[in-house]
């Protein structure tokens, strides 16, 4: 198979390239040249936001293309128009954020979505992803796969959610853990997402697919316990009731990465219907493996991995941590 990867040097794109190369596929990778590409890929340097950024793709043909672009939809539009007659199947890595808010628990791919346009420039994330979907559909029709991912974890994570927890647990001591411990989580390991993307695209799957694990693949308690186990830290998880987190003014998702309290936000992210993904071959490795491999990656590099600068900083400061630990001490029943 001949794969064209638009991006491919960070997180999901890198996992796609590595998976394709491991299968013996021919991989062409278009990127800006800011980071080294995986060995074995044919590299084309180009900035898709520049007027001549796609010049290196004006010739050639590929069986499949995968695009992880998350910015202006017009960038996806330009690429799909250029490639529609020379690429057999186009996969756009979208997001479950495209669903009209708040998406109810159990929502499948038929749910209502936000407005969007493939002519949009810089717009909010949900509208940008929807515009990217429309661009792929306009050029490729039923040859376009819209992979609506949710929370993505695993090695190469450049957002820093699971890495933050691993680094905090590795420091040891009492660690404030947002409860309840049995709160279910729904996510996808980037490597499992990559394998599914290639399998589904090669099989000609088209249209939207929610691509995360089954509901309750793991829990907040299990995830953080795995962090303690793999780091070998002398850490003790101190569970904090969601009401105490709210009273402390600590923000879910950013100041407490990954975690959302029970309610509409949690249902939107962690209770999606993934029947179609499972029916088309999605397989999800155990959470313990995702955590262990992420820690191995974090501790095998010579410097702290560069994180994305377009997102809010993650994690608790010392004052917030002390407040949550005091709440855990006052209510030992939270865990």
- pLDDT recorded at residue 34: 86
Structure tokens at 200: 């589904």
Q: Facing residues of 89 across strands? A: 64
The span from the CA of 276 to the CA of 203, in Å, is 14
- pLDDT recorded at residue 102: 87
**Could you identify the residue written with the tokens 């933050």?**
164
DSSP conformation letters of 21-74: HHTT-EEEEEE-SSSPPPTTSEEEE--TTSTTTTGGGSS--EEEEEE---S-HH
Using one digit for the tens of pLDDT, what is the confidence trace for 58-106? Answer: 999 999 999 999 999 999 999 999 999 999 999 999 999 999 988 999 9
The span from the CA of 206 to the CA of 200, in Å, is 8
Percent of the chain with pLDDT over 70: 97
Q: Which of 259, 240, 263, 112 is nearest to 186 (CA)?
A: 259
Using one digit for the tens of pLDDT, what is the confidence trace for 249-275? Answer: 999 999 999 999 999 999 999 999 999
Using one digit for the tens of pLDDT, what is the confidence trace for 65-77? Answer: 999 999 999 999 9
Q: Which residues contact 197 (CB under 8 A, 6 or more apart)?
A: 16, 66, 91, 93, 145, 147, 211
> Burial, 140: exposed, middle or buried (Cβ in 10 Å; 0-12, 13-18, 19+)?
buried
Give start and end residues of each alpha helix (H) in the chain: 11-22, 73-83, 125-140, 161-170, 190-202, 220-231, 242-247, 264-270, 275-279, 287-298, 318-330
The span from the CA of 321 to the CA of 228, in Å, is 18
């Amino acid at each position: 198979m001949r794969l064209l990867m638009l991006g491919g040097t960070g997180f999901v794109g890198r996992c796609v390239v590595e998976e394709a190369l491991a299968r013996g596929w021919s991989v062409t990778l278009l990127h800006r040249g800011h980071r080294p590409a995986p060995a074995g890929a044919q590299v084309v340097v180009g900035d898709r936001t520049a007027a001549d950024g796609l010049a290196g793709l004006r010739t050639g043909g590929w069986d499949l293309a995968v695009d992880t672009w998350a910015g202006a939809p017009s960038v996806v539009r330009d690429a799909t128009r250029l490639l529609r007659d020379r690429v057999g199947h186009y996969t756009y890595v979208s997001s479950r954020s495209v669903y009209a808010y708040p998406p109810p628990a159990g929502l499948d791919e038929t749910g209502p979505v936000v407005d969007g346009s493939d002519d949009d420039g810089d717009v909010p994330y949900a509208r940008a992803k929807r515009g990217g979907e429309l661009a792929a559909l306009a050029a490729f029709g039923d040859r376009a796969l819209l992979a609506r991912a949710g929370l993505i974890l695993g090695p190469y994570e450049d957002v820093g959610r699971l890495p933050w927890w691993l680094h905090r647990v590795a420091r040891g001591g009492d660690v404030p853990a947002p409860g309840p411990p049995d709160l279910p989580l729904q996510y996808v390991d980037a490597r499992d997402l990559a394998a599914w993307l290639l399998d589904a695209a090669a099989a000609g799957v088209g249209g939207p697919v929610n691509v995360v694990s089954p509901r309750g693949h793991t829990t907040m308690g299990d995830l953080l316990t795995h962090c303690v186990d793999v780091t070998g830290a002398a850490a003790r998880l101190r569970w904090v009731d969601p009401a105490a987190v709210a009273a402390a003014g600590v923000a879910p998702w950013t100041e407490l990465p990954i975690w959302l309290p029970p309610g509409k936000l949690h249902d939107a992210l962690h209770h999606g219907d993934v029947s179609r993904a499972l029916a088309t071959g999605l397989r999800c490795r155990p959470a313990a493996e995702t955590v262990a491999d992420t820690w191995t990656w974090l501790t095998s590099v010579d410097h702290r991995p560069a994180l994305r600068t377009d997102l809010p900083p993650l994690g608790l400061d010392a004052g917030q941590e002390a407040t949550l630990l005091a709440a855990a001490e006052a209510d030992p029943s939270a865990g």
